[in-house]
């Protein structure tokens, strides 16, 4: 009996020794409060794309993501939990846990899965690694830390995703050709809801939605300015690209570029109930950047937007028909396509440079050259209505800029119930090459080019 007892103790000690390599991770997990969140319900309202969204069945299995702690890369734990719970499961990033990601993650294989982010996910600041390994997208210089795609994917939980952006803001100030990752890459997702998240300190855009359909973004909080003299640039809230039936709603965005931007081949999109601060407005474009490509943006409804401390409120920006350069890392012009059936309905502005801007000379400072080579991209059936507020002092007494490169490429642009004034009380617009616009707004200057 005594020998058996000794053997039992020895076996227990041996088992503990074998388990030792994972003990640290187990302890980290044990300190956290483990529970799965209930999936939130965010109705698409009041506007809708007109096409129903697919249903998402309940998940039958729960997987908890472990963490190494101490800033070590948790990508192995994250991939394991996702693979274990893919096709019908619920993955939990535990509350009060900070997860570190130092490896580019291709998550485009997801099916019928919920990602419940309660804690904090932060990407490493290894700029050399990310420039070499982030996923290169096919638009402009876009790269992403990860690619989230597949079928029927929900992401929520109330937690934070942090892009560690400061090192990127400082690096970009030294080298404008730095490839800065986008914080949240929705790439090839068909059916899903991304909601109840805090997105912080993105190196570039906060969200890039590409090649996706039937996706709703709701209750997203975006913020993260630079703490140095180097400004956080190109930090768009959302950019949509080659995607349709997308809703972006009920969110707060504090950023330094477009609040939302509809890039080429964005169709059937609703943006509603947003508070935007510090941005470049809700923008169609830029479009017509690449010769030989046809850019289509249509069936867009923007509703109930609060816009403050911004360069623009509602904006349509198109490259001219000749090569132009906005900056060293952003050049283009000569592409074709069409913008049609665009509605901006109900916008409140405060301290915004241009309440409304339409230009087809994006990136071209030589207006004579822009007029000689008008845009190959048409703009038609645009409605802007129910705007109110006061612009900034930047262009006072001008409150808006409505200029096409030729009257043959712009038609049926209508403004109604626009109650916008400058700080000095004027409501003047720079107008040009848009037939009939002088009957709808107070045009003080006729300009044949763009800005």
Query: What ranges do the domains of the chain cover?
Result: 24-446
pLDDT, tens only, 233-290 = 999 999 999 999 999 999 999 999 999 999 999 999 999 999 999 999 999 999 999 9
Give the alpha-carbon dihedral of 219, 225, 231, 237, to 10 degrees: 0
Confidence at residue 40, expressed as pLDDT on a 0 to 100 scale: 97
Confidence at residue 439, expressed as pLDDT on a 0 to 100 scale: 93
Q: The pTM is what? A: 0.91
% of the chain beyond a pLDDT of 70: 91
Does the pLDDT value for residue 224 go beyond 90? yes
**Sign of the C-alpha dihedral computed for residues 280, 284, 288 and 292 taken in this order:** positive
Is the bond preceding 92 in cis, omega lying within 30 degrees of 0? Answer: no
pLDDT, tens only, 408-434 = 999 999 999 999 999 999 999 999 999
Residue 280 designated active-site: yes
Does the pLDDT value for residue 226 go beyond 90? yes
One CATH from 1.20.58.340, 1.10.287.3510, 3.30.70.1230, 2.160.20.10 for 24-446: 2.160.20.10
Contacts of 316 (CB under 8 A, 6+ apart): 283, 284, 285, 339, 342, 357, 358, 359, 379, 382
Mean pLDDT over the full length of the chain: 91
Q: How many CB atoms lie under 10 A from the CB of residue 211?
A: 17
How many residues are present in the chain? 451
Does the pLDDT value for residue 366 go beyond 90? no
Reported confidence tier of residue 21, pLDDT bands at 50, 70, 90? very low
pLDDT, tens only, 288-332 = 999 999 999 999 999 999 999 999 999 999 989 988 988 888 899
Does the pLDDT value for residue 19 go beyond 90? no
Calculate the alpha carbon distances from 392 to 214, 383, 422 in Å: 37, 23, 7
Does the pLDDT value for residue 27 go beyond 90? no
Alpha-helix runs per DSSP H in 108-165: 127-133
């Amino acid at each position: 009996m005594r020998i058996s007892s000794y053997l039992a103790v020895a076996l227990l000690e041996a088992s503990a020794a074998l388990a030792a390599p994972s003990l640290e991770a187990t302890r980290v997990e044990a300190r956290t409060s483990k529970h799965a969140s209930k999936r939130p319900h965010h109705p698409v309202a009041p506007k809708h794309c007109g096409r129903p969204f697919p249903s998402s069945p309940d998940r039958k299995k729960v997987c908890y993501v472990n963490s190494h702690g101490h800033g070590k890369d948790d990508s192995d734990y994250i991939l394991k939990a996702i693979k274990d719970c893919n096709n019908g499961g619920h993955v939990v990033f535990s509350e009060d846990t900070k997860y570190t990601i130092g490896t580019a993650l291709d998550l485009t294989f997801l099916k019928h899965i919920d990602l419940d982010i309660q804690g904090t996910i932060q990407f490493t600041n290894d700029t050399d690694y990310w420039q070499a390994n982030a996923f290169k997208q096919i638009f402009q210089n876009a790269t992403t830390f990860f690619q989230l795609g597949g079928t029927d994917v929900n992401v929520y939980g109330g937690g934070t995703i942090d892009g560690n952006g400061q090192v990127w803001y400082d690096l970009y100030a030294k080298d404008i050709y730095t490839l800065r990752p986008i914080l949240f890459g929705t790439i090839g997702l068909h059916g899903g809801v991304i909601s109840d998240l805090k997105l912080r300190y993105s190196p570039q855009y906060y969200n890039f939605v590409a090649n996706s359909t039937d996706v709703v973004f709701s209750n997203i909080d975006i913020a993260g300015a630079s703490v140095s003299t180097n400004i956080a640039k190109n930090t768009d809230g959302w950019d949509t690209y080659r995607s349709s039936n997308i809703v972006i709603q009920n969110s707060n965005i504090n950023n330094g570029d477009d609040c939302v931007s509809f890039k080429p081949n964005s169709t059937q999109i609703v943006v509603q109930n947003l508070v935007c601060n510090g941005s470049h407005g809700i923008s169609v474009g830029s479009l017509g950047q690449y010769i030989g490509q046809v850019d289509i943006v249509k069936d867009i409804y923007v509703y109930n937007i609060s816009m403050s401390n911004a360069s623009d409120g509602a904006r349509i920006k198109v490259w001219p028909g000749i090569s132009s350069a906005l900056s060293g890392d952003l050049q283009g012009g000569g592409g074709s396509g069409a913008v049609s059936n665009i509605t901006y309905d109900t916008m409140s502005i405060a301290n915004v440079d241009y309440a409304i801007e339409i230009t087809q000379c994006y990136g071209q400072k030589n207006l004579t050259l822009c007029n000689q080579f008008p845009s190959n991209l048409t703009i038609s059936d645009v409605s802007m209505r129910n705007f109110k507020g006061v612009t900034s002092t930047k262009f006072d007494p001008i409150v808006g800029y409505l200029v096409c490169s030729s009257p043959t490429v712009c038609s049926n642009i209508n403004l109604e119930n626009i109650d916008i004034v400058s700080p000095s009380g004027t409501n003047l617009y720079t107008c040009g090459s848009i037939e009939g616009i002088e009957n709808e707004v107070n045009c003080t200057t006729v300009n044949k080019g763009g800005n």
